[in-house]
């Protein structure tokens, strides 16, 4: 008994995914609308819905590509990636990978990078909420404890490393200006959600990126100071503190912990 | 108002979040799409909690896939339960349909064949869901554009049988009844007449797109006159029922939706001032 319901659902899914229309033999048609016309309402609805998600999630990428290439991308992605998600929020998670591997789009690697940047913005937008610690909180900790302090960043904070000027291109399109040509250059960006719940991004220099990475990997202030000392920074402590205070002021840090003891400021 | 009548509500949509907080409009309650708030944090969760502090809410899901032949997604049900713990909704609803198979989601509300096999399958799954959630589930009738040759009964016979056997409740979408009646050439009044009023907990109203040969449930237009007329007939049969307008596309300003909601209020006032109510008892 169970098998006929299962079979119909398998046939319907095949029709939606464009594999075959066998299900039409089990749909009642009439003079107004035959079975295939009725089935096509669902088939076109499936693709329209997914196209809208890509359009909504990637408006800047859409503007950059223009109608024809955007359609090529959406149709290719929908064919290659049926949705495996309950929520459409995640449907485009594989879009950057798709663009990197597609025969046509992989010729233009910055297109995948534009998609990756837009997904990063979305990830920060609805990442978990956490209170953050301030410069004053850090200053309450006795200086002798600082060397073993570790930083835990806000869940919305992400490092976006690129080897081309993709963020500049994104910004130009967003501002409806002519985007610059693609240039190969190493860039480090941080994406995060500010206390007003607005998503922001900011470029960071090489040392700042290395220090952020150090803390993200579980390093402490002593380790960060060693890294800073190996650079041409004139004053190691002042350089490191400038970064730390900036991160605290921007609301990037949710927790200051000491590896040897329970969290000092745990505001989770 | 009867015990469960929340009055007149709206579907809570992103473009209206700030307006709702700023103006605290004359809306009795809001319905949220559960999946839209199954995120970790940020603006969606902020507005959800801020608006919940001011208004009663109900949760409406679009991906439970109660009719699918793939196993129920327990991880999804747990997330739904977790969201319900946060929101403390008056009730939770989803659709009498299936949405996917073998891990692939169509993101559509696909109709069932109206068979005994499907009834048995769905009734068992509703019981599992209700056990997991620890509360009754409301199931909504969907708009449909196809009928399967396998079907051996009407949509309303199928719906009523499931609701009675699973001991769950109905979210009756009046627009969907109208849309399906046009697409499948039945009398919408027959549908309404078959429904046990005691099972009806909530009503949806919405707009659609009329293509002449068929009608599609697009939720991007105002509620049309025939649907208002059907709503009037529904209230005459069911008595006061929590009613809301669903708008998902081409979303107008909040004030315009409230004007539309006031039409529902007016119809309800006219119906209930002129007719004594007799509510049947759930079997």
pLDDT at residue A260, as a whole number? 65
Provide the pLDDT for residue B87: 98
Supply angle C-alpha A87, A42, B30, rounded to 5.
45
Tell me, yes or no, if B113 comes closer than 8 A to chain A by beta carbon: yes
Q: For chain B, give every domain's residue range.
A: 8-274
Tell whether B35 is within 8 A of chain A (Cβ).
yes
Give the pLDDT band (50/70/90) at residue A91. Answer: very high
Chain A hits for B61, CB-CB cut-off 8 Å, are none
B69 and A9 within 8 Å at the Cβ level: the answer is yes
**Residue written as token pair 């697409």:** B183
CA B269 to chain A, closest CA, distance in angstroms equals 38
- Element holding B172 (H helix, E strand): strand B169-173
Q: State whether A86 and B68 contact (CB < 8 Å).
A: no
- Classified as helix, coil or strand, A236 is helix
Give which of A127, A130, A131, A117 is closest to A159, Cα–Cα.
A117
Q: Which two tokens stand for residue A130?
A: 């956490």
Residue B1 has what pLDDT?
43
Give the pLDDT confidence score for residue A268 in this predicted structure: 30
User: Which residues on A lie below 8 Å from B182 (Cβ)?
Assistant: none
pLDDT tens, B218-265?
999 999 999 999 999 999 999 999 999 999 999 999 999 999 999 999
Q: What is the CATH number of domain A127-267?
A: 3.90.930.50
Question: What ipTM did this prediction achieve?
Answer: 0.94
Please write the tens of the pLDDT for every residue from A18-72.
Answer: 989 999 999 999 999 999 999 999 999 999 999 999 999 999 999 999 999 999 9
Q: Does B71 touch chain A (CB under 8 A)?
A: no
**Contact between residue B25 and residue B16 where contact means Cβ atoms under 8 Å apart:** no
- The CATH homologous superfamily to which domain B8-274 belongs is Divalent-metal-dependent TIM barrel enzymes (3.20.20.150)
* Chain A / chain B CB contacts < 8 angstroms: 129
What tokens does B200 get?
A: 């009806």
Q: Which residues of chain B neighbour A8 with C-beta distances below 8 Å?
A: 113, 148, 150
Domain boundaries, chain A: 1-82, 127-267
Across the beta sheet with A253-258, what order do the strands follow?
A149-153, A253-258, A261-266
Residue pair A155/B40 in contact (Cβ under 8 Å)? The answer is: yes
């Amino acid at each position: 008994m169970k098998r006929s319901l299962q079979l119909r659902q398998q046939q319907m899914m095949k029709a939606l995914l464009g594999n075959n229309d066998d299900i039409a033999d089990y749909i009642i048609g009439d003079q107004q609308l035959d079975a295939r016309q009725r089935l096509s309402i669902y088939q076109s609805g499936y693709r329209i819905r997914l196209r809208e998600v890509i359009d909504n999630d990637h408006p800047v990428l859409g503007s950059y590509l223009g109608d024809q290439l955007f359609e090529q991308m959406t149709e290719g992605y929908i064919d290659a990636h049926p949705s495996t998600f309950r929520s459409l929020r995640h449907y485009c998670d594989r879009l950057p990978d798709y663009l990197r591997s597609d025969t046509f789009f992989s010729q233009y690697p910055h297109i995948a990078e534009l998609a990756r940047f837009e997904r990063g913005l979305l990830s920060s937008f609805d990442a978990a909420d956490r209170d953050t610690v301030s410069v004053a909180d850090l200053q309450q900790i006795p200086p002798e404890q600082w060397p073993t302090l570790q930083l835990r960043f806000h869940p919305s904070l992400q490092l976006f490393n690129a080897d081309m000027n993709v963020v500049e291109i994104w910004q130009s399109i967003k501002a409806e200006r002519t985007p610059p040509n693609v240039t190969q250059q190493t860039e480090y960006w941080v994406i995060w959600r500010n206390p007003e719940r607005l998503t922001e991004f900011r470029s960071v220099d090489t040392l700042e990126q290395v220090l952020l990475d150090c803390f993200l990997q579980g390093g402490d202030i002593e380790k960060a100071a060693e890294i800073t000392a190996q650079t041409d920074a004139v004053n190691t402590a002042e350089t490191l503190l400038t970064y730390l205070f900036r991160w605290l002021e921007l609301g990037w840090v949710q927790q200051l912990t000491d590896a040897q003891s329970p969290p000092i400021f745990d505001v989770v | 108002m009867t015990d469960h009548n929340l009055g007149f509500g709206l579907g809570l949509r992103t473009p209206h979040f700030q307006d709702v907080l700023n103006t605290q409009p004359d809306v009795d309650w809001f319905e949220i799409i559960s999946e839209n708030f199954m995120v970790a944090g940020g603006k969606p969760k902020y507005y959800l909690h801020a608006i919940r502090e001011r208004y009663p809410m109900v949760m409406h899901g679009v991906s439970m896939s109660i009719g699918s032949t793939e196993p129920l997604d327990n991880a999804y049900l747990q997330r739904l339960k977790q969201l319900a713990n946060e929101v403390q909704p008056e009730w939770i609803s989803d659709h009498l349909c299936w949405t996917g198979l073998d891990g692939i989601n169509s993101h559509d509300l696909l109709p069932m064949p109206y068979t005994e096999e499907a009834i048995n399958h769905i009734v068992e799954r509703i019981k599992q869901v209700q056990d997991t959630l620890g509360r009754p589930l409301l199931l909504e009738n969907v708009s449909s554009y196809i009928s399967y040759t396998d079907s051996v009964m009407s949509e309303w016979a199928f719906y009523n049988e499931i609701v009675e056997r699973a001991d769950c409740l109905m979210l009756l979408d009046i627009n969907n009844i109208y849309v399906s009646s046009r697409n499948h050439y039945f009398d919408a009044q027959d549908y309404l007449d078959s429904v046990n009023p005691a099972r009806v907990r909530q009503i949806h109203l919405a707009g659609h797109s009329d293509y002449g040969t068929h009608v599609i449930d697009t939720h991007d237009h105002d509620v049309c006159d025939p649907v208002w007329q059907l709503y009037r007939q529904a209230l005459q049969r069911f008595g006061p029922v929590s009613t809301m307008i669903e708008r998902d596309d081409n979303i107008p300003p909040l004030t315009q939706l409230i004007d539309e909601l006031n039409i529902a209020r007016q119809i309800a006032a006219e119906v209930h001032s002129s007719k004594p109510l007799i509510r049947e008892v759930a079997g």
